[in-house]
Amino acid sequence: MKVYSGLAGIPVVKSSISYIDGERGILEYRGIPIQELVEHSDFLETAYLLVFGKLPAKEEYTRFVSDVKENQYLDMSVLNFLKELPKTTHPMKVLQSVIPVLSAYDKNTDVLDPQHHYSSLVKMLGQVPVITALWKRISVGENIVEPDSSLSYSENFLYMITGRRPDPVEGRVFDRCLILHAEHTMNASTFTAVVAVSTLADFYSAVSSAVGSLSGRLHGGANEKVYQMLSKIDSPEKIPAFIDRMLQNKKRIMGFGHRVYKTYDPRAKLLKKMLTEISSLKGGSRLIKTAEVFEKEALKRLESKKIYPNIDFYSGVLYSILGIPSRFYTSVFAMARIAGWVAHCKEYVKENKLFRPTQVYDGGHNIHYVPPEKRG
C-alpha cells in the first residue's frame, strides 16, 4: 500500500462550503468570490453564509447578530478560571483549554441535532473574542474592559483588547481580516475538527482540537512568527542577506508558501491592499516598508519554486497597526476560523462516517519480552 504523506491532494470529504483554485489564486465562500464578500459583507454575515449555506434574510441577520452579542458576556466562573492561569500561558493554549469549558453552559450539544448547532456557534463566536481580549488584559495586568454592545462585533473586540474605542475604518479593516480568515477548505485545523466530530464529539471539543492544530507555526502560528521575523530586521538593506542566510540554513520563511496556492494567495493581496489603506490613515510604519522589501527580495529567490506570500505574511503587520500584540495574532485567526470549523463539522455530520485511516506497518512481529536485568 502507498502512504500518502500529509494526505497532500487526497480528497477526504465532499463539501460545498468553499472552493480554492490554487493555480489561479481563486477563493470562493459558498460560490461567492472572496473579493465580493470583503467589499460588501461583514464577518458575522459571512459566518452565517458559511455555516447555513445562504446569505441571511434581514431578520435572520438581525437575530444572529443579537444572539452573538448576547453571548459576549462570560460566566464569572470562566473569568475566575482565566484569572487562575499562569500569566505566561500562550493565548492559543488559553483558548484550547477554555473552549471545552463553555460547553458546561450549553445543554444543547448533541451534534446529531441540527437545532443544537446554532447555539454552539453563537456561543463560541460571542465568547472566543471576549476570552482573547480578556486574556490580553489579565495577562499584562490591565483593567478588564466590558463589552460595549453599541459597537460592531469587530469594533468591540478592538475596544476590549486595546481599551480604546477604534475608529470606524479600523473596525471595518479588522472585520475584513476576519472574513479573510474565516474558511479555507480542508486545511489542517479544519481536518482536525472534522476528525473529532466524526466520533460525535461535540462542536466545542472539535473547535478546541482545531485550535491546537492551528497553533503550529506551519499553519496559523506563522502570523506571529512573521511579525517576529520582520521585527528583527532593523534596516531594509539587511534583508537580502537575512533571507539568503535562512535559505542556506534550510529554514522555512514564515508567511511564504502554501500546500494549495502555487501563486499569490488572494487573501494576502487583499491584506496588502488594506494595509496600504490603513497606513495612509494611521501613518505608515517601519514594519510595512520592511515587509514590502522582504516580499520583493523573497520572491526573487522563491517565485521560481511557486512559493509566494500567504495569508500570514501581512496579517500581523496589519494587526500591529490596530494595536493587537503579536502573541494574539493566531488567536485572532482562530476567532475567525470558528465559522469554517463549525461549517465543516455541521456539513460532515449530516452523513457522518468515523475517520479511521490505516497504515503501512514496517515494524517487527512476535518479539519476546526482555526482563529489565537482561536488557543492554
Interaction between residue 218 and ligand SDX (CB under 6 A): yes
Which residue in the list 117, 184, 312, 344 is annotated as catalytic? 312
Q: Check binding of 324 to ligand SDX (CB under 6 A).
A: no
Handedness of CA 61, 63, 67, 69 (dihedral sign): positive
- Residue 8 in grid coordinates: 497532500
In whole angstroms, what is the distance from residue 348 CA to residue 226 CA?
Answer: 33
Closest by CA to 337, choosing from 357, 355, 361, 311, is: 311
Q: How far apart are CB 22 and ligand SDX at their closest, in Å? A: 9
One residue of 64, 203, 204, 256 binding ligand SDX per CB under 6 A: 256
Interface with ligand SDX includes 255 (CB under 6 A)? yes
Choice between 171 and 257, CB closer to ligand SDX: 257
**Looking at 17, 312, 318, 343, which residue binds ligand SDX (CB under 6 A)?**
312
Q: Which three cell numbers stand for residue 345?
A: 463539522
Strands of 41-144, DSSP E: none
CA angle 123, 351, 334 (to 5 degrees): 35
Among 50, 254, 288, 318, binds ligand SDX (CB under 6 A): 254
**Is residue 310 part of the contact set for ligand SDX (CB under 6 A)?**
yes
**DSSP code at position 22:** T
Nearest to residue 253, comparing CAs of 270, 273, 279, 233?
233
Minimum distance, C-beta of residue 162 to ligand SDX, in the bound complex (Å):
25
Pairing mode of beta strands 18-21, 32-33? unpaired
Residue from 117, 136, 172, 258 in contact with ligand SDX (CB under 6 A): 258
For the question of residue 21 being annotated catalytic, the response is no
Q: Site for ligand SDX (CB under 6 A): which residue of 307, 332, 345, 349?
A: 307
Contact call for residue 266 and ligand SDX (CB under 6 A): no
Per residue, the 3-state secondary structure of 18-57, as one string, reads EEEECCCCEEEECCEEHHHHHHHCCHHHHHHHHHHCCCCC
Of 222, 230, 318, 342, which lies in the binding site for ligand SDX, with binding defined by CB under 6 A?
Answer: 222
Binding of ligand SDX by 257 (CB under 6 A) = yes
Smallest CA-to-CA distance from 43 within 100, 128, 117 is with 128
Catalytic sites, residue numbers: 258, 312
Q: Which residues bind ligand SDX (CB under 6 A)?
A: 184, 187, 218-220, 222, 252-260, 305, 307, 310-312
